[in-house]
Amino acid sequence: MTEERRLTLCRHAKSDWNDRRLSDFERPLNARGLRDAPTMARRFLAGLDREPTMRLQLVSSPALRALTTAQIFAETLGIANREIKLEPRIYEAMPGTLLEIVRGFDPTQHHVLMFGHNPGFSDFARLLADCPFSELPTCAAAHLRFNGSWRDLNPGDAELLRYNFPKQPD
């Protein structure tokens, strides 16, 4: 019997462009991002209550805006920040690189929550499953499911379970 896997792709929350001295990698979250991330983390947690119990791994781009979003989710989920796995290849990754990263996930993991960036995350979600969006807004999450191993994941293998975004009514 093949094992069910879940992959949640979460685009980082809204970032701050005001300090032009900062590199793109160093941009922090702005006030809206700091408000949206906890809301989306609570929605994610509520969705987990309806799913089979699965160990959850958080994997994030090391860019400040993505990592801060991951840390806010970790706090809500009761996961220590030191448990967030940093994956530098997520930053500016396109779908092919993201697929390589996912295929390399620990086979004992059944649910991975990844934090990253557009356009790669939106394109990757649409590569894996039929999705109703062309672009994930900031802090949006695409919750995907597939059967099999991470290493054998191929385009079109996943099903979109849920799509959440900050402006969505509760």
Q: What is the mean pLDDT of residues 44-69?
A: 84
Whose structure tokens read 């019997």?
1
Tell me if 170 is assigned to some domain.
no
Question: In which band, very low, low, confident or very high, does the pLDDT at 54 lie, cut at 50, 70 and 90?
Answer: low
**Both tokens of residue 117?**
């960036």
Burial class (CB in 10 A: 0-12, 13-18, 19+), 89: middle
Range(s) of the domain holding residue 12: 4-164
Lowest mean pLDDT among 13-17, 48-52, 63-67, 137-141: 48-52
Residue 154: Cβ within 10 Å count:
12
Residue-wise pLDDT tens digits, 75-98: 999 999 999 999 999 999 999 999
Secondary element (H or E) of residue 120: helix 120-128
Alpha carbon 62 to its chain's center: 13
Question: In which band, very low, low, confident or very high, does the pLDDT at 51 lie, cut at 50, 70 and 90?
Answer: low
**Both tokens of residue 69?**
């979003």
**SS3 call for 8:** strand
Q: What is the rounded CA–CA span in Å between residue 2 and residue 119? A: 31
Q: Closest Cα partner for 73 from 33, 108, 102?
A: 33
Q: Is the pLDDT of residue 151 over 60?
A: yes
Tell me if 20 is assigned to some domain.
yes
Q: What is the rounded CA–CA span in Å between residue 129 and residue 132? A: 10
**SS3 call for 153:** coil
Number of domains in the chain: 1
Tell me if 133 is assigned to some domain.
yes
Tell me if 112 is assigned to some domain.
yes
Whose structure tokens read 């994941």?
153
Tell me if 169 is assigned to some domain.
no
Secondary element (H or E) of residue 116: strand 111-116
Say which CATH number the domain at 126 has.
3.40.50.1240
